[in-house]
């Protein structure tokens, strides 16, 4: 395994690092406090080609690899966890399945403007009664002539309030269980597509999510993504890629927390010396740095396997499981390094704890990742 990044990979890392320093870090706390959508940051993501990183240039993307994508998400999330997941949803959960399963006509309509960042996409799998048990879809699509009529609801749809289209999962034949699920490409302007106000959450407050009610939403049959009845596989293989994005997001949030703790430990003095001269603090910093490096190696391995076209479900789940739990551990230790100030809204430490926590839940909880990993370990 080659641990050296290529020149292109180092370039994208540098570009994203500079963008984060100049435009994300100075604004992230403000966006969090105001629960504000980071409009200027999303516009800049589009300008930098970061909304379709691994989409080929002919379809409006930057034509880079998934290692570049993971490096970019880490840097962006280090600047702002909310901006990081917005980027991840458009790239991994929307563009990736359209690229992989879409027809040429679907790619022209539903990929090109989204990879260019002129439009935003989202992913509609989760329902009130189908979170971890993704096959228990209740949203129904019934065929009438050349179109389907969709009724049901989706919740926790990240980017939902701003999205122009959605990869929507429905049940087209309840008797077939997970083989009765079909994915559709649906413009959010379709009559009957009703979005609720943004959810009130503990963290990633800038990354708006919402509940969606679907009331007699008419979608042409040509908008089926993949084949009828194969939606579950579309969802699962999309999440194999999405979990790399969330692992990288977790890594970025964890790194932001660690770097703040490192900086603060040089400023704050106790017992006559900077707190970083106490071994108790040094050991915390050592654990944080070690765990973050390990999480990065797992994340880049999964990205590299995706680039090579190898099945990477297990490795994506390992990366997502480990990186998300590391992010929470690191963010909590970083808060501890700050002492009382860590609990104050005047510092970023408490935001990092709140932002890190969701990475253990969305795109499959830690428990779901352990199911995927153990199922792969036991199948041979």
Q: How do beta strands 140-144 and 193-195 pair?
A: unpaired
Determine the interface stretch with ligand CAA among 10-18, 94-102, 233-241, 337-345 (rule: CB under 6 A).
Answer: 233-241
Counting contacts by CB under 6 A, is residue 158 touching ligand CAA? Answer: yes
Counting contacts by CB under 6 A, is residue 83 touching ligand CAA? Answer: no
Counting contacts by CB under 6 A, is residue 169 touching ligand CAA? Answer: no
Write out the binding residues for ligand CAA, residues 321-340 only, by CB under 6 A.
none
Determine the interface stretch with ligand CAA among 6-14, 23-31, 236-244, 341-349 (rule: CB under 6 A).
Answer: 236-244
Write out the binding residues for ligand CAA, residues 88-117 only, by CB under 6 A.
89, 93
Q: Cα(84)–Cα(68) distance, rounded to whole angstroms? A: 14
Strands (E), 87-179: 121-124, 140-144, 147-158, 165-171
Counting contacts by CB under 6 A, is residue 371 touching ligand CAA? Answer: yes
DSSP string, 215-279: EEEEEEGGGEES-TT-HHHHHHHHHHHHHHHHHHHHHHHHHHHHHHHHHHHHH-EETTEEGGGSH
Determine the interface stretch with ligand CAA among 13-21, 232-240, 260-268, 288-296 (rule: CB under 6 A).
Answer: 232-240
Q: In 274-305, which positions are buried (b, 16+ CB within 10 angstroms) versus exposed (e)?
A: ebbeeeebeebbeebeebbeebbebbbbbbbb
Q: Name the minimum Å distance from CB 224 to ligand CAA.
A: 17
Alpha-carbon separation of residue 371 from 132, 204, 306, 323 (angstroms):
11, 26, 20, 17
Counting contacts by CB under 6 A, is residue 208 touching ligand CAA? Answer: no
Q: Name the minimum Å distance from CB 271 to ligand CAA.
A: 44
Residue number, 225 or 337, with CB nearest to ligand CAA: 225
* Ramachandran angles phi, psi of 181, nearest 5°: -95, 135
Dihedral (Cα; 74, 76, 77, 81), 10-degree rounding: -160
Q: One symbol per residue from 113 to 152: x for binding ligand CAA (CB under 6 A), - otherwise; what is it? A: ----------x-xx-----x-xx-----------------
Counting contacts by CB under 6 A, is residue 239 touching ligand CAA? Answer: yes
Counting contacts by CB under 6 A, is residue 45 touching ligand CAA? Answer: no
Q: Cα(61)–Cα(46) distance, rounded to whole angstroms? A: 10
Determine the interface stretch with ligand CAA among 74-82, 182-190, 293-301, 368-376 (rule: CB under 6 A).
Answer: 368-376
Residues that bind ligand CAA (CB under 6 A): 85, 89, 93, 123, 125-126, 132, 134-135, 156, 158, 178, 232-233, 236-237, 239-240, 313, 362-364, 368, 371-372
């Amino acid at each position: 395994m080659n641990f050296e990044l290529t020149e292109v990979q180092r370039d994208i890392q540098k570009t994203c690092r500079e963008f984060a320093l100049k435009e994300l870090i100075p604004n992230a706390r403000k966006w969090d406090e105001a629960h504000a959508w980071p409009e200027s940051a999303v516009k800049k993501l589009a300008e930098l080609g970061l909304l379709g990183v691994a989409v080929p240039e002919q379809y409006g993307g930057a034509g880079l690899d998934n290692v570049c994508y993971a490096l970019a998400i880490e840097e962006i999330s280090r600047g702002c966890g909310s901006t990081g997941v917005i980027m991840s949803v458009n790239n991994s959960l929307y563009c990736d399945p359209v690229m992989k399963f879409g027809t040429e006509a679907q790619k022209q309509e539903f990929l090109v403007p989204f990879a260019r960042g002129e439009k935003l996409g989202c992913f509609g799998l989760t329902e009130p009664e189908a979170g971890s048990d993704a096959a228990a879809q209740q949203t129904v699509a019934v065929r009438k002539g050349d179109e389907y009529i969709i009724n049901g609801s989706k919740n926790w749809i990240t980017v939902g309030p701003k999205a122009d289209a959605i990869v929507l999962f429905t049940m087209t034949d309840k008797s077939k269980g997970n083989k009765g699920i079909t994915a559709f490409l649906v413009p959010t302007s379709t009559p009957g597509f009703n979005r609720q106000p943004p959810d009130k959450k503990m963290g990633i407050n800038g990354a708006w999510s919402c509940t969606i009610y679907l009331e007699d939403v008419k979608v042409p049959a040509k908008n089926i993504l993949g084949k009828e009845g194969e939606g579950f596989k579309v969802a699962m293989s999309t999440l194999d890629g999405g979990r790399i994005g969330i692992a990288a997001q977790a890594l970025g949030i964890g790194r932001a927390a660690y770097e703040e703790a490192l900086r603060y430990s040089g400023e704050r003095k106790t017992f006559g010396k900077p707190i970083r001269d106490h071994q108790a603090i040094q050991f915390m910093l050592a654990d944080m740095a070690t765990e973050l490096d390990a999480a990065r190696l797992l994340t880049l391995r999964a990205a590299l396997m995706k680039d090579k076209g190898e099945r990477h479900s297990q490795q994506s789940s390992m990366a997502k499981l480990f990186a998300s739990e590391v992010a929470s551990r690191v963010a909590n230790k970083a808060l501890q390094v700050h002492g009382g100030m860590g609990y104050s809204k005047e510092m970023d430490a408490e935001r990092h704890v709140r932002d890190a926590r969701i990475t253990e839940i969305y795109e499959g909880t830690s428990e779901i990742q352990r199911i995927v990993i153990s199922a792969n370990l036991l199948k041979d």
